[in-house]
Structure 1
Amino acid sequence: MNWDAWHRLSLRRTLLAVLLPGMLAVVGLELWFTWRTAVDAANAAYDRSLLGAIKSIDANISTESGGLAVELPYRMLEFFELTASGAVYYRVATEEGLVEIGNADLPPPLLPLETGRPQFHDAAYFGEPVRVGSYARRLPRPLAGHEEAQRVVIQVAETLRSREQFTRNLVLQALARDLMLVLVAGGLLVLAIGWALRPLARLRQEVGGRSPQDLTPIASAGIPLDVQPLVEAINQHVERTRRLTEARRRFVDDASHQLRTPLATLSTQVGYALREPDPARLHDALRAVKVQLEETVRQTNQMLALARTDSAELVPEPLDLRTLAEQGTRAWWSEAQARRIDLGLDVPEAPVPVQAHAGLLKEALSNLLHNALRYTPAGGQVTVRVAAEGGAARLVVLDNGPGIPAAERARAGERFFRASNASQPGSGLGLAIVRSIAERHGGRFEVEPGPDGQGLSAALVLPLHAA
């Protein structure tokens, strides 16, 4: 069976295609049970009539003459034939069959008869189906030529026309009733499905009527509970798309904001160099162009890194924060030596497990170390510290540079924010990258005064992951 093609049907057709055959199958099963019940009811009713005929014949059995005699109740048998709508047969005989009265070839009972307990069974008599009732009792006195009293067997049989008509009428009535119920239930089912699917049609119209720029969440009011998880998933997808679109828009805005001035400066410097005849001044102009180009390249790289941080797919993995801090610190040792800065590492003995994206965390640590080494004067100290405190993992970079004024620390991590005491050129995106990475991992970025109130302590705080 092609389930994909089946699932491509509308919900209305799918429900009707599943429920209506199911209802018809239930009707068929119910008709079979009705037929069995009707047969049992007919047998119970008509078998009581058979037993009445047997008792009537039994009441007219006499052994006064020394033999077996029966005075048949003809009126009762005629009435029984009328109610049975067919022929009635009877047989009275001793158990060994030496004396028989009536239809001697009636089918015998299927099981041995118990004295005083009637037995009924279906059989065929001359090719015609009949219902046979059999009854046995012991005679009050032995028949002539016998020493002990014998049992007499009384059998009455009737054709099944009346029973079959009774059963047929019950089944036809049940069939008409069930078909009426199926029609009514089918109509109600169509109406109920149409009414239940109205919110989906309204939702389709609402979504289809939106403009391509409309990325607001879909309202879940009036939506069935079974469909709300789908609406929530669509809203999550819309929110991701909105964030991606917003990140792209911010990138374009950032690029136009940050690159316009450097490019204009470069154009001015190149024009000055082209007009400068003095080789010494030309060399100075080219050196200035190189510095400006390096700063522009760095700003461009930071904007690209921030765009990747905002929009890249986050696939966290378990890692030890100590190992990441050690690798990141080693990568900056040569830079620290060139600047004559003491770069140290302080990590605990026990692992500090986190669930994070290793590449993004390395990017955040690289930005923190770059800022710390850039603003710490020669002979200063920068320390990378890893700690597990209060159920959180902390990756901290400490320096004894100028720090950030207390009134401006709350703005640390904003895009293009630079402290008023900044002495080096920059774009103001380094800490913004760190803050974005922290928030994407469900953590936070904290900025505090450094040791003894001097310098800066920039911390990336992440949830501690239980291995």
Structure 2
Amino acid sequence: MTPLLTSLTRRLGAGKPLGSLRNELLRWLLVPLVLLVAVNSLSAYNNGLDAADVAYDRALLASTRALAERVSVKDGKVVADVPYVALDSYETDTLGRIFYKVTGIRGETVSGFGDLPPVPANVPRSDAYPALVRFYQADYRGEPLRIAALLQPVYDDSMRGIALIQVGETLDARRGLSRKILMDTLLRQGLLLLAVATLVWFAVRLVLAPLMQLKGEVERRDIHDLSDVDAALVHREVRPLVGAMNGTMSRMQGLIASQRRFIADASHQLRTPLTVLKTQAQLALRENDVAAMRAIVGSIAVTTDATVHLANRLLTLARIEHGGEAAALQPLTLDTVVRQVALELALPAVQKQLDLSLDVTGTAHIDGHPLLLHEMISNLLDNAIRYTPPGGSVALRVSATAAGVLLQVEDSGDGIASSERDKVFRPFYRAQASLAAHQDGSGLGLAIVRDIAVLHGADIVLADGAGGSGLLVSICFPLPKVASGGDVERR
């Protein structure tokens, strides 16, 4: 289908639901067919009338010639030797009546009906016959006539000239034949239309049978069966649609598998802190010492904070993975978000006696989601502060380059072994150095960072920090799309 036809189809179908495909095909096939049959019937009818007129005109000319052969000159007068029987045959007919008139050289009426309409001055001679004949129509005695006017030379030893023989016929016979031609044409074309419509109906039904078979197979499937549909069941033109269906079901399979995996991982991760909370609550209920009870309640508060932190990260990861935060990106400056996060986490860095620095080069324009970028940078900076020993350093750097906007977070901690750098982006996976330093991590921080970077079309790379120690996280964001005129496009 061409783009023009696709656009036209969309405009015709916009704003209203599509009906039956079978009815649509039949309508587009049969309506033009009916119009073509109607045009063909009219053409056939007109051709039949033309053929009938030619035949009747030829017969009328033959009668005129037969009468002309009986016209002669006797004693200086034009006479028409028309016997009574011949005259009767001219005056009456089984289908119509015939009138004739013979006009002499001087314009006198020799024989026949003297009041027969004369030949109009503007009637041309017929070129269809080798005779000086003119055909015309006129009303006579309240009836329309078809009249043949033949010029017949007459002569003898005393005179010579041209006589005019006119033979007119009523149109009853022609009209009867016209009605017969019309009825025969309509009957034949009607039978043809009925036959073609029946064939078209069976053809459309046969062509759509594979689609009905596909419909039945999909309906009979189990609710959990998302396997591919066999594209060989349908015609080649429909296979792209089946391919798109299979692609959608494949994505649904991945989404369902992701949801199941997330539920399993979340239940596993939440089971331990919830069990600890329950145990601590039971201990508090059995404890009579106020001081000991306060200590247990303090532990419950710490466990609750850790559980809330874990739940929040799980929810954030779920929203990102399942498209819940896939809002339209908007133009912003990345260094503004970085400064805000640095101010929010400056206190933990100061409490840990870390050297927290921020270096911004140029204005970092990107297209992004402010809340997600804030979450990503917070995770990176929180991890850097958490896993950097007291007295260490954490550096934030933002720079605008020709290739894109580069965000770097570097710390002087234990880093991540190169063999584990691909694994740490998996949910709940924790590097060995992280496990040794902190037992209370969730293993979701870098997974969230990776998903947000992918959502923004950014590349993320883990490397060693300065001097081969610590960890350097580099994220390169693409430049914002530029509309015509050089301004940043507002999407």
| 2:348–2:385 Cα contact (<8 Å) kept | no
Aligned residue for 1:131?
146
Partners of 1:8 and 1:115 lie apart in 2 by 62
Aligned residue for 1:190?
201
* 2:358 aligned to which of 326, 344, 350: 344
**Range 259-268 or range 45-54, more displaced:** 45-54
1:374 aligns to 2:386 (yes or no): yes
**Range 156-165 or range 403-412, more displaced:** 156-165
3-state SS of 2:169 partner = strand
1:409 aligns to 2:421 (yes or no): yes
| 1:247–1:307 Cα contact (<8 Å) kept | no
Q: Taking structure 1 as reference, are residues 58 and 254 closer, same or farther at Cα in structure 2, changes over 3 Å only?
A: same
**Range 6-15 or range 173-182, more displaced:** 6-15
Partners of 1:366 and 1:41 lie apart in 2 by 95
**Range 40-49 or range 273-282, more displaced:** 273-282
Aligned residue for 1:49?
59
3-state SS of 1:446 partner = strand
Aligned residue for 1:205?
216
- What is the Cα deviation at residue 253 of structure 1? 1.1
Aligned residues with identical type, % of pairs? 34
3-state SS of 2:222 partner = coil
* 2:277 aligned to which of 256, 266, 278: 266
- What is the Cα deviation at residue 196 of structure 1? 1.8
- What is the Cα deviation at residue 299 of structure 1? 0.7
* 1:222 aligned to which of 222, 225, 233: 233
TM-score, scaled relative to structure 1: 0.78
| 1:415–1:429 Cα contact (<8 Å) kept | yes
Partners of 2:105 and 2:334 lie apart in 1 by 104
* 2:396 aligned to which of 383, 387, 396: 383
Partners of 1:116 and 1:40 lie apart in 2 by 15
Partners of 1:448 and 1:75 lie apart in 2 by 126
3-state SS of 1:339 partner = helix
For residues 415-434 of structure 1, what are the structure 2 equivalents within 5 Å?
Answer: 415-422=427-434, 423-424=437-438, 425-434=440-449
Aligned residue for 1:104?
114
For residues 43-442 of structure 1, what are the structure 2 equivalents within 5 Å?
Answer: 43-54=53-64, 69-70=79-80, 85-93=95-103, 99=109, 101-109=111-119, 112-114=122-124, 118-134=133-149, 153-225=164-236, 227-228=238-239, 230-232=241-243, 234-235=245-246, 237-239=248-250, 241-272=252-283, 284-313=295-324, 315-320=326-331, 323-340=333-350, 341-349=355-363, 351-352=365-366, 354=367, 357-377=369-389, 378-387=391-400, 390=403, 394-422=406-434, 423-424=437-438, 425-440=440-455
Partners of 1:314 and 1:182 lie apart in 2 by 59
Deviations 1:428-458 (A, max 9, x none): 1111122233444555543233455443333
**Range 102-111 or range 286-295, more displaced:** 102-111
Structure 2 residues not aligned, in runs of 5+: 1-12, 128-132, 483-491
Partners of 1:459 and 1:96 lie apart in 2 by 121
Structure 2: which amino acid aligns with 1:160? L
Structure 2: which amino acid aligns with 1:333? L
Aligned residue for 1:466?
481
3-state SS of 1:382 partner = strand
Partners of 1:461 and 1:82 lie apart in 2 by 107
3-state SS of 1:412 partner = helix
Partners of 2:442 and 2:310 lie apart in 1 by 6
Partners of 1:235 and 1:96 lie apart in 2 by 97
Deviations 1:117-165 (A, max 9, x none): 6543444433444322345699999x99xxxx99865432223344344
Partners of 2:363 and 2:121 lie apart in 1 by 91
Q: CA RMSD in A?
A: 4.3
**Range 153-162 or range 422-431, more displaced:** 153-162
- What is the Cα deviation at residue 42 of structure 1? 1.1
3-state SS of 1:421 partner = helix
**Range 271-280 or range 340-349, more displaced:** 271-280
Partners of 1:217 and 1:188 lie apart in 2 by 34
| 1:35–1:171 Cα contact (<8 Å) kept | yes
Deviations 1:75-126 (A, max 9, x none): 9988889998433222344799665643233344566134676543444433
Deviations 1:39-65 (A, max 9, x none): 111112322333444455567666786
- What is the Cα deviation at residue 361 of structure 1? 3.7
- What is the Cα deviation at residue 190 of structure 1? 2.9
Partners of 2:90 and 2:377 lie apart in 1 by 106
Q: Taking structure 1 as reference, are residues 413 and 327 closer, same or farther at Cα in structure 2, changes over 3 Å only?
A: same
| 1:336–1:343 Cα contact (<8 Å) kept | no
How many residue pairs match? The answer is 455
Partners of 2:68 and 2:338 lie apart in 1 by 112
| 1:109–1:121 Cα contact (<8 Å) kept | yes
Partners of 1:33 and 1:10 lie apart in 2 by 34
Structure 2: which amino acid aligns with 1:326? T
